[in-house]
Structure 1
Amino acid sequence: MSERPMPLKAINKFFEGKEPWQIVTITASSVLAIVWTHSLYNARESVPSRLRKEFFRWLRQVPFVRRKIEQKMAEIKKDFKRDVAKRLSGMTIYRQLPENGFTEEQVAEEVRQHLVLGSYDWKAGNVSGAVYHVNEDISRVACAAYALTAYTNPLHADVFPGVNKMEAEVVRMTIDLFNGDEECCGTVTTGGTESIMMACKAFRDLAYSKGITNPQMVLPSTAHTAFDKAAQYLGIGIVTVPVSTETYTVDLDAVKRAIGRRTCMIVGSAPNFPYGTMDDIKALSDIALEYGVPLHVDACLGGFVAAFMPRAGHPIPLFDFRLPGVASISADTHKYGYAPKGTSVIVYRKPQFRHCQYTVSTEWPGGVYGSPTVNGSRAGGLIAACWATMMFVGMERYVRMTGEVVTTARYIEAAVRKTEGLFVFGQPATTVVAFGSHRFDIFKLADELHKKGWSVNALQFPSG
């Protein structure tokens, strides 16, 4: 009779002389430990993150802490109500439909009254990160296009093929700006968050097709929070990597260390929202090719500036499809594309990637139902207004406006650098200039600017 394999000998020796209940207990405990370790390894959220959340969840249950939180929340609620009451003072609050509809003039007057309730003159350029231009002729053209197409729905391609054509042309013009080839493709979305979510959905499903059941994405700590939202919606794990405290761009070595067998995508910002610095997209492209992982470039904020900067006399590092590792790019037409709010573009290097973005239901009694983006019905008016804006502005004017806004940003950057007590975070790549201070509380400066009618975005970790 042949000898038993060594592992079995070792197991038998380990259990030799033990009681049956001990054998059962040890076996069950071992199985549970293996299952727990496996679930821990494959969890979407990192162990430190879960421990931190659990700690604060426990801390909030401490009676003293809970009372302080409830007290603070009550104060915030009271302040909020007081602020709303102050802003809406003198305004009629409608809780029911009017018995008889308003006239056109009444509706227009009501809208005008609602637009002056804010604290800032958003048309004067005093608001950061909310309104990107106020130009009467562009607005007229966009609004006229929207008025003609307000009730169209490109989901029904046989009914509104013209709107589908306009969407395809917006996508193709964007691909051309980002130096893509004929194979590149994409869709128009309702904003940067949806563009980012679609890219995440595409690369998650691509990972599924490769047998990766718990995909993760690797992104800088400065990546837009829309990636966190996408992770929560789509069940994708996040591996956050730090940025350099000198350049405020992603740590490339940390990116390499973060990539594993579950990585479905890498993210780079061109530029990022907090600091306006641009990650080294060329280096990230090389890493993506080396590890065989798609690289998504988030250019939602500055894509429609960066694309025109070289023509406007402002060189910028490569960030687009000229880099072979770049798999997709998100860019907002409703920012520096100057289209009305509610449009963005997600473009891919290959149709295979876009195909993974789609959602199709084949078993529904209503028939086969497919949609390219989050929404089923889509606002054809917004697509038409975006198309009209791009066609009306044209290359020459985009280049000229880009030159003006970048020159202004460089002027602000230079002025901040010359101001004693202030410093600029890294090297601004496009139009965002982030600054802080090592000498005083920067939020006090923000408060003073607010008093003077300026709305600026506050930063944290570090303050700016």
Structure 2
Amino acid sequence: MELPDLDLLSHLPPRLLAVAERYLKAIPLVRSRLDKETGSLLTELEGSLKPYKDQVPTFDRLPAQGRPREEILHELEQLEEREHERWKEGRISGAVYHGAEDHIAFVNQVYALHSQSNPLHADVWPSATKFEAEVIAMTANMLGAAEANASKPSEQHICGSVSSGGTESIMLAMKTYRDWARATQGITRPEMVAPNSAHPAFDKAAHYFGIKLVKVPVGPDYRADVAAMRKAITRNTIVLIGSAPSFPHGVIDPIEELSELARKRGLGFHTDACLGGFVLPWAERLGYPVPPFDFRLPGVTSMSADTHKFGYAAKGTSVVLYRGTELRSHQYFTATEWPGGIYFSPTFSGSRPGGLIAAAWATLVTLGEAGYLEASRHILETAEVIKRGIRALPELYVLGEPLFVIAFGSRTLNIYQVMERMSAQGWNLNGLHKPSAVHLCVTLRHTQPGVAERFLADLQAAVEHVRANPGEKGTMAPVYGMAATVPFRGLLSDLLKKYMDLLYKV
């Protein structure tokens, strides 16, 4: 049985597409073919996702007797040795943002000292709340709090919380706006307006908290379209969103115009600076063209910035900031009628890892302004080298005007095949779609001598290989190609869910 022409279906309105997809998936022959094709694809992926299956012991139940600690540590060391080579050599986009051995050792030592602490029990571990408050204050002042707080009453000062990562920071902020709008304006069907380049954490927040997410296409420069976002505002809109920079294309949205639009309409405005929060302030000092994006703009009412990215802390911490304690109060949860006593928590988690908060605090304090300035200088200089090298390849082009997250595509080659060829040469890049592209998030790992030059040489070789072998099949290229071309988003969602099932397979 032949499937219908997907190119023709792609022109249908989204509602009709959804109806067509449900109809087709209900046909047994179509369902069988889809299951066969996705099953074949997942089988090919399983080898790379489960490389240790026959090489180290597997446990699907507790061992009858505990294993010796030395044996476990030896096994863990073996696994780590197999995995660290690529990221230590700077062959991965983002993921590990510092990675120097002495820095990792220091952060691990700090974590070990406070591994048992938990800010839920502030009376037992007051050090945990000290660290959290200072991480928030240092991050806020880096992002314009001093100017924003000038001549303002203390309850309007920039404040915040430490979360488990950028996704939680964004979700906390959106939940806060939902509850703020309901309490102060009586809005019960809240909407948020975001460019379609905004991080999927906003989709996740909309899904979890019953907020309608209105997505607006970006302009030809891949930045948020101010006029289109203005047009999307309704009486139920509670917050506008901009990125500094966006994850896909690495460009900074027009935060000044968007936040002023929000301020005049009495709306919240969130700057997602999860990626750029610990780079852009220093890039500005170094003279790079950084448009205003932080609390120095009066319309910015919240921000997110990840300490575990370019803040160089251990994985598992981010900061969400608000303009004033009244707004932040809508983030909090309290329970006053529980037989177990009075309960309250500032973020989604109850118990939280005090060791990670201590590690974030220690990282910020040991690097200081000079450390972040120097790190950003190296990253931005390396990014300039890479951008020039990509632009020198006639088959490729750089999307927009990025600073350190460099997205590139091709008008003549299958860019996913280029990405796959780079993978074969040891690189791990991020695939994008709408438009089809690939990006490299430049970190301190890429500033090591020779890494940028090796990347560009391998990229040129990959381009030449794909040009000479345009029909070559691969593993990941078909996945990204399907994501970019298949109009049935439910089908793609089903595939991603099966992929996640595969990750949980023992």
Q: 287-296 vs 69-78, which deviates more?
A: 69-78
Q: Deviations over 1:22-54 (max 9, x none)?
A: xxxxxxxxxxxxxxxxxxxxxxxxxx6555434
Q: Deviations over 1:56-96 (max 9, x none)?
A: 22321123321221111321343344445544332221233
1:164 corresponds to 2:129: yes
1:60 corresponds to 2:25: yes
1:193 corresponds to 2:158: no
Q: CA deviation at 1:115?
A: 2.1
Runs of 5+ consecutive residues of structure 2 not aligned to the other structure? 1-12, 438-506
Question: Which of the numbers 352, 357, 371 marks the counterpart of 1:397?
Answer: 371
SS at match of 1:276: coil
Q: CA deviation at 1:368?
A: 2.0
1:331 corresponds to 2:305: yes
Percent identical among aligned pairs is 45
1:366 corresponds to 2:331: no
TM-score, reference length from structure 2: 0.79
Match of 1:443 in 2: 416
Question: Which of the numbers 218, 223, 234 marks the counterpart of 2:209?
Answer: 234
Match of 2:199 in 1: 224
Q: 414-423 vs 252-261, which deviates more?
A: 414-423
Match of 1:264 in 2: 238
SS at match of 2:120: coil
Question: Which of the numbers 309, 312, 323 marks the counterpart of 2:286?
Answer: 312
Q: 450-459 vs 181-190, which deviates more?
A: 181-190
Q: CA deviation at 1:105?
A: 2.7
Match of 1:91 in 2: 56
SS at match of 1:308: helix
SS at match of 1:307: helix
Q: Deviations over 1:233-254 (max 9, x none)?
A: 1111110001012x10011111
1:354 corresponds to 2:323: no
Question: Which of the numbers 405, 420, 431 marks the counterpart of 1:458?
Answer: 431
Determine which structure has more spread, i.e. the larger CA radius of gyration: 1
Listed as ranges, the matches of 1:381-420 within 5 Å are: 381-420=355-394
Q: 75-84 vs 151-160, which deviates more?
A: 75-84
Question: Which of the numbers 49, 60, 69 marks the counterpart of 2:34?
Answer: 69
SS at match of 1:268: strand
CA contact (8 A) 1:129 1:457 kept: no
Q: Deviations over 1:264-308 (max 9, x none)?
A: 110000000000011000111111112111100000011110121
SS at match of 2:278: helix
Match of 1:303 in 2: 277
Write the letter of the residue equivalent to 2:263.
Answer: L
Structure 1 pair 57–436 and aligned structure 2 pair: CA distance change class (3 A): same
Tell me, in whole angstroms, the C-alpha distance in 1 between the residues paired with 2:68 and 2:254.
56
Structure 1 pair 155–248 and aligned structure 2 pair: CA distance change class (3 A): same
Write the letter of the residue equivalent to 2:426.
Answer: G
Match of 1:4 in 2: none
Write the letter of the residue equivalent to 1:269.
Answer: S
Q: CA deviation at 1:359?
A: 1.2
Q: 211-220 vs 283-292, which deviates more?
A: 283-292
Match of 1:134 in 2: 99
CA contact (8 A) 1:266 1:294 kept: yes
Tell me, in whole angstroms, the C-alpha distance in 1 between the residues paired with 2:15 and 2:98.
42
SS at match of 1:121: helix
Match of 1:30 in 2: none
SS at match of 1:219: strand
RMSD: 1.7
Tell me, in whole angstroms, the C-alpha distance in 1 between the residues paired with 2:75 and 2:19.
48
CA contact (8 A) 1:120 1:453 kept: no
CA contact (8 A) 1:302 1:331 kept: yes
Q: Deviations over 1:339-397 (max 9, x none)?
A: 00000000111111110111112221112211110101111011001111111111111
Structure 1 pair 365–52 and aligned structure 2 pair: CA distance change class (3 A): farther
Tell me, in whole angstroms, the C-alpha distance in 2 between the residues paired with 1:398 and 1:84.
35
Q: CA deviation at 1:174?
A: 0.4
Q: CA deviation at 1:122?
A: 1.4
SS at match of 2:132: helix
Tell me, in whole angstroms, the C-alpha distance in 2 between the residues paired with 1:120 and 1:267.
38
Write the letter of the residue equivalent to 2:408.
Answer: F
Tell me, in whole angstroms, the C-alpha distance in 2 between the residues paired with 1:285 and 1:77.
44
TM-score, reference length from structure 1: 0.86
Write the letter of the residue equivalent to 1:301.
Answer: L
Match of 1:146 in 2: 111
CA contact (8 A) 1:138 1:393 kept: no
CA contact (8 A) 1:252 1:284 kept: yes
SS at match of 1:370: strand
Match of 1:10 in 2: none
CA contact (8 A) 1:191 1:334 kept: yes
1:111 corresponds to 2:76: yes
Q: 48-57 vs 128-137, which deviates more?
A: 48-57
Tell me, in whole angstroms, the C-alpha distance in 2 between the residues paired with 1:349 and 1:84.
43
CA contact (8 A) 1:268 1:281 kept: yes
Match of 1:155 in 2: 120
Q: CA deviation at 1:109?
A: 1.2
CA contact (8 A) 1:189 1:343 kept: yes
Structure 1 pair 204–50 and aligned structure 2 pair: CA distance change class (3 A): farther
Tell me, in whole angstroms, the C-alpha distance in 1 between the residues paired with 2:393 and 2:47.
38
Question: Which of the numbers 223, 228, 232 marks the counterpart of 1:254?
Answer: 228
Match of 1:202 in 2: 176
Tell me, in whole angstroms, the C-alpha distance in 1 between the residues paired with 2:407 and 2:48.
29
Tell me, in whole angstroms, the C-alpha distance in 2 between the residues paired with 1:344 and 1:326.
18
Tell me, in whole angstroms, the C-alpha distance in 2 between the residues paired with 1:407 and 1:57.
50
Tell me, in whole angstroms, the C-alpha distance in 2 between the residues paired with 1:157 and 1:49.
50
